[in-house]
Amino acid sequence: MACLANSPPVHGALLLNRSAVASTSYHQLVFNARSHKRKFPLQIRADSLKSETQDKLSRRQILTLGAITANLLILQPNQLSFAAEVKKGFLPVSDQKDGYFFLYPFGWQEVIVEGQDKVLKDVIEPLESVSVNLIPTSKQDIRELGPPQVVAETLVKKVLAPSSQKTKLIEASEHDVDGKAYYTFEFIAQAPNFTRHALGTVSIANGKFYTLTTGANERRWGKMKDILHEVVDSFKIETR
């Protein structure tokens, strides 16, 4: 089986199996082989963000976007230097092992979802959640997979919603942070008994394809959209 570096463009490279997460309505990425999910401690600090050093070998099964191959991914020691302002009403997640940072609304709780690196949600409104997923890849830049519209459309249809739901991509765009390209997009996933309005952002760095998705029930979108935009806009990756 070919690895991601030799996979065809995004239409082929992003074909993944999917399944819905019943409790949260957030859809985990499930692949043709069972991935080995490592549990990492959540590091939340409301007052300040401190840099920490990492000196560990990180091993995980290589799962490509179009095929599966086995390899070892070695993370070299490095120091994170996220310099992000923690805004009022938000708490930070700073993952020192996988090199990412984002903010989430105060009051959301962490839950464990197989196949996801990090999931937090509102316990009263379970459709209000944020999830981060990591897929090892040999690609160096998100733009190698295609333009924002193509990548987002494929993710929404093939990964972020089951085939039973009707999806609509509202918009997709590219932005640059510290020389790194991110694709950000907005979409709707309609099920028989609910409609979820969601935002996502993806990027590639450190040999990983990073996906952050957040959303809310359509009936609460007007109240939540500014908060969810803060979550998506806060997502940063530390290049090693």
**Local mean pLDDT, 10-residue blocks, the chain (240 residues):** 40 39 35 37 39 39 36 33 70 95 97 95 96 96 97 96 95 95 98 97 97 98 98 92
Q: Contact 136/41 with Cβ under 8 angstroms? A: no
Instruction: State residue 113's pLDDT score.
Output: 94
Instruction: State residue 18's pLDDT score.
Output: 39
Give me the residues paired with residue 133 across strands.
Answer: 211
Topology given in CATH for the domain delimited by 4-237: Protein Transport Mog1p; Chain A (3.40.1000)
Rounded Cα distance between 83 and 88, Å, is 16
Rounded Cα distance between 188 and 102, Å, is 22
Q: Contact 121/128 with Cβ under 8 angstroms? A: yes
Degrees, nearest 5: CA angle 117-118-123: 145
Instruction: State residue 86's pLDDT score.
Output: 77
Where in the chain are the domains?
4-237
Query: For residue 223, with 0-12 CB atoms within 10 Å meaning exposed, 13-18 middle and 19 or more buried, which class applies?
Result: exposed
DSSP conformation class of 144: G
- Structure-token pair, residue 197: 């309005």
Per residue in 168-196, is it b (16+ CB within 10 Å) or e — as a string? Answer: ebeebeeeeeeebbbbbbbbbbeeeeebb
- Structure-token pair, residue 75: 């993370």
Q: Contact 182/39 with Cβ under 8 angstroms? A: no
